[in-house]
Amino acid sequence: MAEFEVYHTTENRGNEIAIQSEGGIYADSKNLFLGKGYYYWEGSFDCAREWGFSRYNGKFVIFKGYLALDMDFLLDLSTNSHNRFLKELYKRFKNQYRGKKRVGELYVGLFIDFVRELQNDCLKAGQIDENECFFPFKYSKLVDHSASKKSEKQGVSASAHHWYWSNPVVIICVYEKNDLILKDFQVVKST
């Protein structure tokens, strides 16, 4: 298990105690970055605050906690091997996905929701068993490159024009409540 410092932002409706006991708000709308689940920013209070101002017009609550993840069940879309896995899975289910979602495009969150629902349907119908699951992940994470303009970049070497983001915006999604292992989850800002 690995532990990550995480932040979660939600609208301030005066229900902080209930949200704290749940570990956050479960996001289930369409077009989510990584599909339906509990969303957190890894180690970035600033991103959580910015989301509150932009999404909730400045009326928000930020929670901070420590999220434990079993790395064997993390779809890490910042790695090439996991990106290749997702592309191969898309090739395998492309025709079925096209019939349910937007034609010809891989929208990561929509596709993850589609594959998870398909897998659950196949398990319930007895078409596959637990050993044949094609999406073995309980959570996922990615770097939001659209936020790179706000990130700091550092040079890799004096002779190369390459860099890395020294404070990338990392988003983590936990798909199911029973896989949510949080400790010290509490309010750190309320507006």
Q: What is the pLDDT along the chain (191 residues), one digit of tens a residue?
A: 999 999 999 999 999 999 999 999 999 987 789 999 999 999 999 999 999 999 999 899 999 999 999 999 999 998 899 999 999 999 998 888 876 655 567 789 989 999 999 999 999 999 999 889 999 999 999 988 665 555 666 666 777 676 566 677 899 999 999 999 999 999 999 99
The pLDDT, as a whole number, for residue 147 is 57
Helix, strand, or coil (residue 187)? strand
The parent domain of residue 87 ranges over: 1-152+164-191
- DSSP codes of every residue in 52-85: HHHHSTT-EEEEEEEEEE-GGGEEETTSHHHHHH
Measure Cα distances from 178 to 7, 83, 87, 97 in Å: 19, 26, 28, 27
26 inside domain: yes
104 inside domain: yes
Structure tokens at 147: 């936020």
179 inside domain: yes
Element at 171 (helix H, strand E): strand 170-174
186 inside domain: yes
1 inside domain: yes
8 Å CB contact between 29 and 43: no
8 Å CB contact between 86 and 77: yes
100 inside domain: yes
- DSSP codes of every residue in 97-147: HHHHSSTT---HHHHHHHHHHHHHHHHHTTSS-GGG-S---SEEEEE-GGG
Total structural domains within the chain: 1
105 inside domain: yes
159 inside domain: no
CATH number of the domain at 170, please. 3.90.228
